[in-house]
Structure 1
Amino acid sequence: MRLRALLDTDVLGLRLLGGEEELERSVRGVMTTDLRDPSRYLSGGELVLTGLAWRRDADDSEPFVRILVQAGVAGLAAGEAELGDVPDDLVLACAKHRLPLFAVHESVAFATITEHVVRQVSSERAGDLAAVVDRHRRMMTSGPAGGGPDVVLDLLGTDLDLRAWVLSPTGRLIAGSEVTGPELPSEACAKLAAEHLAATRTGRRGPHRVLRNGTTYSLFPIRSSGRSPQAARDVRESVLSDWLLAVEADAGDWPEERLDLLQGVTQLIAVERDRRDAARTVRRRLAQEVLELVQTGAPPAEIAARLRVAAPVLLPGLGAAPHWQVVVARVEWEGSEVEGGPVAQSLLEEVLVDPSATGPEPSDRIAVAHTGDEAIALVPLPAVSAEHDGSETGLLAESLLQSVRETLSAGLNDDGRLTLGVSAAVHSAEGLRGALEEARHARRVAAARPGRVCAAGHQELASHVLLLPFVPDDVRRAFTARLLDPLTDYDRRHRAELIPTLEAFLDCDGSWTRCATRLHLHVNTLRYRVGRIEQLTGRDLSRLEDKLDFFLALRMS
């Protein structure tokens, strides 16, 4: 802003005492001082406000004004509350050094002038930054990515002193400014995302203001660049997929110019979001093709060939052929016709991101298809060694939702549910159909539980559940293979006869003496074999539940 503009604002009560020819100077800030030498606190371009407490006699005015001029200030405004009229010696000193001088009426608080100047300067800086943002948007939409959301967040930090972060709907930190201090803690990210989801579900317009630990944050929704706020028929279509921009500031008293700037920033980030979604198209298509082959009963060789194509894309640099897990998710809304498949697909892609992943955007390694109202993820895992001890590998259902349950519950509100099922790891194309059915059945187990966000894994398909008539044959076969395959593989490699030993041990009701006699073995040899069975399967043959699992698996094999 220009000094001349201060005279055009009646509420400021300023009266020009000299320096009319210098009123085109730019004002870049404001400072209030009564120090005799305030130079250490001046950087140039300020309007200096003073109550004249530094002045003891007429000789003090000349050195004070000289210090201000050397610091490059734009002008001086002296209050009349302390001494009445501004002293002539100060007027003469300012005229000598061509420093514009204003008198401030005693009824006007310096805080009023400060607030006005800061707001005007901020708006002009916001306008300059808006031009930068607009240029950045054109760069991103017309060519290769211009640096992603981090670049524009850095602009907010350097030009407007605003700390800002881009968060996913689960509270994952997607981007943050590197010039405004440390990252936002994960707990704070989750809380802000939950507040945003809850506010969005109430239909309130953004930005949403949240007070957390004494700090106010303003939350701006980031919607797809091709979708207006009114484009979605129902907020539930996008509430679990939209990103948000969290700004450490209270936007409640911002001028329209700054609000418009932040809306422009969200649109710019939305361009990057759409770019990332487009990059997922190949992975989604690969997952869809594999899923269709599995569901239509295609030959394992055909599925295996498709997996060999998919593996380098889904998990770059893996090297060896991976093991696979299947994760099934469903989002359901009470009394709504919102299609759940796309919502679940976007959400599952986010939930499956490894929180410890580093490097490029970690969600770019997630491949999720959707069919009907459910989303299905094909998750590659590093292959386990031939001597694997049977301990649990891969994704665990509960751990997937542990850190996001509270956040997503806020977005699901009182009418939505997320249920998720996770299969065991399979090492070949033959096992994928069983893994898919197993994950679906685990999801049905989760759906039978209370709560807005529920998950179940293959471990929870207990043996007594497998006795129920509605359990699919593929789930039964997967259960059997998971329990007995480690023993079968070991027998094939070492001719250890663990499977016959297990059958005999169960037939003898766990009696060491009777079983050893029946197998013509020394009891110590029998104990060694049973110990090896327990090590390979992670089970305990002294427990009734594990004995029952082995009994059913042997009968169904």
Structure 2
Amino acid sequence: MVSAARSGGLAHILGSLRSALSAEVAFFDLTGNVLSSAPARTLWDFERVLAVHRSADASAPLTVLPVDIDGDTVGLLAARATDDPQQLLPVAIDLLALEISKLRAKQSGQAQLLATLLEDIFTKRVSDADAAARLAPFGIDGAARHRVLVGWDPTAGPGRRQLSWGSIDALVQDRPDPLMRARIGDQIVMVVPDDAMVQRIAETLHAHLLGAGRGGDPSSVRVGVGLAHAGTAGLRASYHEALTAVHEGGGVRSPKRVDLAGLFVMTNTADSLRDLAKSILGPLIDYDRVHNSDLLRTLQVFLRNNRSIQATTEALYVHRNTLRYRRGQIEQLLDMDLDDSAHIANLWLAFAILDDANIRDGE
């Protein structure tokens, strides 16, 4: 069997085991897919296989053993035999686990590539056309509607277990994994089609994050579910919405309230937006540069504190009269009224654009 594993993977392992046991054998994933069997066209009742596995029924004409990797059961090995005098089944289990581990290592490399691509998409470092072409090998149709899931455990330490949940069937068949997860920083990100399974997938991701945390606080684990959008700009929007949901609290959540300014920034072309922001705030930027003043920051702090005089003066450590004088300068330079809702909306959006640009530029 060892020689079979070296030469041909799962099919050769099961073929060798079948010859040694003189019995039909099959390897299943936990959803009932036959990953490999010998003979290849043998019919199996997975419900029966699962029942024998759960009950350990010694009278059943089957032997069913779990295949585990790092403490997780990834599949079931079934043999239509009750005797294993040469103890070949444990050897077969080890070889199957080794084969799946090799496939998972390949999948891990693909997940890292996907993570890099998604990060480029979310931060607009790649054009939409190029992004759509690069998503195709991962089985993601750039024109279809997708949702982005973001999983996060703020209490997780460096000793947490690596998440390995995914489609074993896709691994074995060498197909793109429809449930591939990418790690971006301390987030687990998934791109899934917009269908009825989204909530169940999100709950499964939440459960696996809880398991990876090794008994951490269940309320700290968060999974945000973005809304459904088409195109790569839609992926950015859904990611932004999922992040919004993550910051609203623990458990599995969809966003209750979306920051339209942030969403607009994430889904539009960076260069044109930056030009727009600089055209609005440019007079303050130029004035501060020439006079070594702090009007731009004063305006930003003023807006962040909901235009509260007291909160702004405390944040800037300035007198109320100083803030009043700076406000007059700002209104004069920008030709705007800071009591006008439309002007305030434009200023909020301009700062959101510049903050986004600075983050992407590493400033």
Point out where structure 1 has 5 or more consecutive residues left out of the alignment.
1-132, 140-145, 196-208, 224-237, 382-392, 449-454, 482-556
Taking the aligned partners of 1:186 and 1:306, their CA distance within structure 2 comes to: 45
Q: Does 1:428 align with 2:231?
A: yes
Name the structure 1 match of 2:139: 315
Aligned equivalent of 2:96: 269
Which of the two has higher C-alpha Rg? 1
Cα drift, residue 437 of structure 1: 2.5
Corresponding residue of 2:159: 338
Take 1:441 and 1:239, find their aligned partners in 2: how far apart are those partners?
A: 33
> 1:371 matched to which residue of 2?
184
Rate the CA distance shift 1:152–1:410 in 2: closer, same or farther, 3 A: farther
Match of 2:240 in 1: 437
* Structure 1 counterpart SS, 2:182: strand
Unpaired runs of at least 5, structure 2 = 269-348, 350-363
- Looking at structure 2, the residues matched to 190 and 413 of structure 1 have their Cα atoms a distance apart, in angstroms, of 30
Matched, 1:239 2:66: no
Whether the 8 Å contact between 1:166 and 1:246 is mirrored in structure 2 is: yes
SS of 1:430's equivalent in the other structure is helix
Deviations 1:96-142 (A, max 9, x none): xxxxxxxxxxxxxxxxxxxxxxxxxxxxxxxxxxxxx1221232xxx
Structure 1 residue 150 corresponds to structure 2 residue 11:
yes
Sequence identity percentage: 17
Q: Does 1:219 align with 2:55?
A: no
Q: TM-score, normalised by structure 1?
A: 0.37
Q: 1:326 — aligned with what?
A: 148
Matched residue SS, 2:56: strand
Cα distance, 1:377 vs structure 2:
1.9
- Residue 401 of structure 1: how far off its partner (Å): 6.4
Is the 2:145–2:231 Cα contact (8 Å) retained in structure 1?
yes
Is the Cα–Cα contact under 8 Å of residues 227 and 238 in structure 2 kept in the other structure? Answer: yes
The one-letter code matched in structure 2 to 1:243 is V
Offset, 1:436: 1.0
Displacement after TM superposition at 1:475 (Å): 7.5
Query: What residue number does 1:447 align with?
Result: 250
Whole-angstrom CA distance in 2 between matches of 1:136 and 1:244: 20
- CA separation of 1:213 and 1:329: change in aligned 2, threshold 3 A: farther
Q: Does 1:400 align with 2:179?
A: no
1:397–1:420: 8 Å Cα contact kept in structure 2? no
CA displacement at 1:444 relative to structure 2: 6.0
1:175 partnered with 2:35: yes
SS in 2 for 1:177: strand
Residue 363 (structure 1) shift: 5.2
The one-character-per-residue Cα deviations of 1:279-325 (angstroms, maximum 9, x if unpaired) are 43563233212232245x335xx241441332331228x6x844443
Quickly say closer, same or farther: Cα 1:277–1:374, change in 2 above 3 A. same
Q: Secondary structure at the match of 1:298?
A: coil
Number of the residue aligned with 2:5 = 137
Instruction: Give the paired residue count.
Output: 263
* 1:298 equivalent in alignment to 2:124: yes
Cα deviations by residue, 1:411-436 (Å, 9 ceiling, x for unpaired): 78993667544322322333333311
Query: Matched residues in 1 for 2:2 and 2:102: separation?
Result: 17
- CA deviations 1:71-94 (Å, max 9, x no partner) are xxxxxxxxxxxxxxxxxxxxxxxx
Q: Please give the alpha-carbon distance, in whole angstroms, between the structure 2 residues aligned to 1:181 and 1:434.
A: 47
Amino acid at match of 1:326: V
Query: Which residue does the alignment assign to 2:215?
Result: 415
Q: Deviations over 1:220-272 (max 9, x none)?
A: 4344xxxxxxxxxxxxxx334x5244335798x855x41xx333323332343
- Quote the RMSD (CA, aligned, Å): 4.9
**Which structure is higher in RCO with an 8 Å CA cutoff and minimum separation 6?**
2
CA distance in 1, matches of 2:210, 2:42: 29
Flag the structure with higher helix content.
2
Q: Relative to 1, partners in 2 of residues 1:172 and 1:312: Cα closer, same or farther, differing over 3 Å? A: same
TM-score computed with the length of structure 2 as normaliser: 0.53
Amino acid at match of 1:304: D
